[in-house]
Structure 1
Amino acid sequence: MHGYVSITRPANSVVAGLAGVLGYLIATGTVTPESAALIGIVALVTAAGNVINDYCDAEIDAVNRPDRPIPAGKVSRRGALIYAALLFAAGNLLALTTNLSCLAIALFNSALLVLYATRLKGMPFVGNLAVAYLSASIFLFGGALAGPDGLAANLPVAGVTFLAMVAREVLKDAEDVEGDAAGGARTLPMVLGIPRTIALAFAFAAAAMVLSMLPVFRWWGLPYLLAIGLLNAAVLLGAAGVRGCTTPACIRSSRVTSTLKKGMFLSLLIFTAAAVLL
């Protein structure tokens, strides 16, 4: 059972579900009992996407991530495929309890997750954009539960998430060049080279940081600006070690993708505190 739990990346799936509730909170300023369904829907669909991705990436993970459940022999490929189908079905059935907009997003994102795992992942930059959209759309999904105005209220947060995720995804590809090449994938770092990929990632990360501070006076004021500004500075400082890297090993040792991931999680906490308190 441990393999079937870990293959879903449960922490990431649950955090994604909480981000859906945060989208609703940003839209309405409150959390209602019906919004709790967002956690289950987003967590199930996200978990399904993680499983189908591992199913399709079994050969690549055997090089890059041999400890993942499928190459480690904890989950069979056939078992993973059935498991992903069940998780997708459960998430979309639960989405029937929401509204038409939420259901449409859930169905579209489920299809995109499958398309990403089977086709888009190996397409330079296109796969990165798909993952970034999927992450950003969680906030749109939460806002959509409150109607069109709620969806529109989440556009800035979704924009920040999209830009930050593009930065992290291209850096993850740069970390995994050897395994991706062995698996036949063609990613952005293989086309641009690692130094240019790093420069592009920093450009997207900087754009995310600028956007995160633009709506401050309309939304949450000086306390939010100070908190998000300090976080942005800390992330930039923590990611500085990747500058000058020319090899995947150097990028991995810099832990830049981990820094960006932690920064995104902390930004969720800041968004939550600002939505509740300010």
Structure 2
Amino acid sequence: MNIVASLNLPKWRGYLELMRPANIVTAWADILVGFSASGSGVIFTQLMNGQPTADGFIPLAWLLLATTGLYGGGIVFNDVFDAELDQQERPSRPIPSGRVSRENAALLGMILFAIAIFAATQVSLLSVTIAIFITFAALLYDSVGKHHPFFGPLNMGVCRGSNLLLGVSALPAMVGERWYLALIPVLYIAAITAISQGEVHGGKRITGVVALILIAIVLTAVLSLGFFAEYTVIAALPFAALLAVRVLPNFIQAAREPVPEKIRNAVKVGVLSLIILDASIAAGFTGLAYGLLVLILLPISMSFAKMFAVT
């Protein structure tokens, strides 16, 4: 019997919960900022000036599909590997609650990864190489990396940094020139992943302090990109200020009082605010209007976050 045909509405919701739609939207923002940094963001300026640019959007569409599969597959396998642990700590999650079998969840994850790799092949050889690397890096994190206090945050950061470079690969030659941009999400995600380690049982103050330092470095890096001639720091500044106002208070609270509730709130805000970070960098490379276009993803992600878990 066809698995899809046999699903009822509650099970469909379980599959969506596994994929964490709000998080996937943040991955789209990575692609948009990478696309901008490659110089391809100019097609949006051309569009606003009434110039035909349909062909320029084709690689972007494939890359957005690729990142949807990569992030979706990675987050699904996170629950697959955590099935026994979730049975004890998060029994309401789709797999331990019985709404989705572990086997079907693994099948969904494999399908999503396959879609991602196929989509990347439609752009460039470098794109599919990066997509395959992200696939293995995500599986490494899900199975082993997340259990390590240092390697785990670094592993997840590399996944998100590589996702940004996937956006840059719309113009493969630019990846070599913009590789340093991957370091920013590496540090940002490392901060979130580090502090998230205490979201179930509580964390340590020192972890929260380290996370705060990493966030401060990220904010400094976003503004320091202004040393590059092609980057307009004044366009990035409003978005960077919004990022600081949104993220810092929650991380400070979690560092002062590392209880599960405050940590989960900091993680949720941090994950969704990835879109603001991406909007900051995108605005610096392509202009205020492009930054606002990326920022539009934030209310979309927040809407999904009200319906589906983020952490």
Is the shorter-chain TM-score for this pair beyond 0.5, marking a shared fold?
yes
SS of aligned partner of 1:75: coil
Q: How far off its partner does 1:271 sit?
A: 3.4
Q: How far off its partner does 1:106 sit?
A: 0.7
Q: What residue in structure 1 maps to residue 240 of structure 2?
A: 228
Picking from 240, 243, 250, the partner of 2:252 is 240
Residue 130 in 1 paired to residue 125 in 2? Answer: no
Q: What residue in structure 2 maps to residue 263 of structure 1?
A: 273
RMSD: 2.2
Give the whole-Å Cα distance in 2 for the aligned partners of 1:221 and 1:163: 20
Picking from 179, 196, 205, the partner of 1:195 is 205
1:231-258 CA-to-partner distances (Å, cap 9, x unmatched) read: 3244223432223225445534xx2222
Q: What residue in structure 2 maps to residue 23 of structure 1?
A: 34
Contact 2:235 2:287 in 1 (8 A): no
Deviates more, 1:103-112 or 1:146-155: 146-155
Contact 1:17 1:42 in 2 (8 A): yes
Q: How far off its partner does 1:34 sit?
A: 2.0
Deviates more, 1:210-219 or 1:130-139: 210-219
Contact 2:74 2:138 in 1 (8 A): yes
Q: What residue in structure 1 maps to residue 177 of structure 2?
A: 152
- TM-score (structure 2 length as normaliser): 0.76
Q: What residue in structure 2 maps to residue 182 of structure 1?
A: none
Distance 1:233 1:17, change over 3 A: closer
Contact 2:120 2:131 in 1 (8 A): yes
Pairs within 5 Å for 1:35-114: 35-114=60-139
Contact 2:242 2:276 in 1 (8 A): no
1:154-193 CA-to-partner distances (Å, cap 9, x unmatched) read: 523x222111111110111021347xxxxxxxxxx6xxxx
Contact 2:127 2:170 in 1 (8 A): yes
Deviates more, 1:162-171 or 1:119-128: 119-128
Contact 1:143 1:151 in 2 (8 A): no
Give the whole-Å Cα distance in 1 for the aligned partners of 2:150 and 2:110: 27
Q: How far off its partner does 1:150 sit?
A: 4.2
Aligned partner letter, 1:70: I
SS of aligned partner of 2:244: helix
SS of aligned partner of 1:74: coil
Q: What residue in structure 2 maps to residue 166 of structure 1?
A: 190
Pairs within 5 Å for 1:172-187: 172-177=196-201
Structure having greater relative contact order (Cα 8 Å, sep ≥ 6): 2
Residue 251 in 1 paired to residue 247 in 2? Answer: no
Contact 1:140 1:155 in 2 (8 A): no
Q: Give the number of aligned pairs.
A: 261
Contact 2:29 2:279 in 1 (8 A): no
Distance 1:94 1:58, change over 3 A: same
SS of aligned partner of 1:153: helix
Deviates more, 1:137-146 or 1:24-33: 24-33
Give the whole-Å Cα distance in 1 for the aligned partners of 2:257 and 2:17: 31
Contact 1:216 1:225 in 2 (8 A): no
Contact 1:116 1:127 in 2 (8 A): yes
Aligned partner letter, 1:105: I
Give the whole-Å Cα distance in 1 for the aligned partners of 2:60 and 2:109: 24
Question: Which segments of 5 or more consecutive residues in structure 1 lack a partner in the other structure?
Answer: 179-188
Q: How far off its partner does 1:132 sit?
A: 0.9
Distance 1:249 1:42, change over 3 A: closer
Aligned partner letter, 2:209: A
Deviates more, 1:112-121 or 1:236-245: 236-245
Distance 1:89 1:259, change over 3 A: closer
Give the whole-Å Cα distance in 1 for the aligned partners of 2:145 and 2:243: 32
Contact 2:73 2:112 in 1 (8 A): yes
Distance 1:76 1:149, change over 3 A: same
Give the whole-Å Cα distance in 2 for the aligned partners of 1:45 and 1:246: 31
